[in-house]
Chain A
């Protein structure tokens, strides 16, 4: 697929943005400056980036408890995200949501979600709204291998197919649901096989190859926009960190982690861009430095921002 230089560079920037943002979170969580749970997306950047790069602002996504990558790839603001994760009043959700509950409806981000499998039915609703209004937008539902076993996910796949909705299910198969390896939670090897049960295309892609994800999602989005219904794309990937920060992760072996870290999606893509002369080394360095600066500014913004006032507690319970 011939992609414009602009798109390629945007994808490269997005992956680095997710990486550096999350490495900062890792650092600040360890320092005790971030409350609650933090589930990092490190190692999985190619999935969100490949998928969201196909979408416009009018298209919608539903995200998961591991949502920072999806949100940033969909255009989420670094500062507003950082402030929310630090629990500040200037954050995306005024400090009421935190890492697991960030949304930006202007960007089509229908929210990260603390409930595993919570996103599927919501995505069905969003896609239904599109069809109802006879618009051409699509919805992407991100969900994990663990979430694929939840009834809500299976119900969503079925309804989306029965109603021929413009919905793309992007499964992020990182091999584990907390400590539970895929082989213990399901009998199939490829989650994409389940698409057959709902009569929709099911595709397996290398989730650490941003271009492979982009291509598969492009096909599925085309199909969705034409009114031909949903698709299921399974992206095989791996999470580098424990399930949450603080998880000692004793249920996985180091060799497995090392094997996957050698398939780091960012250097892989970078090498392609350098080889094809889309970017020079100097440009790569410049991009990384500029993102690092943006991330630092986001941290500074978060830290300078006030905590929410208790007088705001009862706001927004009802419209």
Chain B
């Protein structure tokens, strides 16, 4: 039962990404052509409200469900891995029209071919694991 809250939150996440068309290849194509505000509005408003939430949690030391202080893990300081890794990610994002979250939502939405895309993404992750000692970080 301890996983039920994550399942319910995930269901909410899946419904939001579906209903707002974020999982549509067309919306991603449109975003990278700057032909609509839709995707920028979604990401932008999520970040602005997210920043307010994050800063409030820190300022008021909000406690989690089990009564502990909520922790944020700072990202490791580096440059090249974020720029290069991000660029590879962006190439794939625009090609498949899906980032990792939407890939799963799309399967539920009926596009079962995304099971193949997820398998490829697992292979890509595996390839990173194999190559990482040779890559600039």
Chain B associates with chain A: no
A residues sitting closer than 8 Å to B (CB atoms) are none
B residues at A contact (CB < 8 Å): none
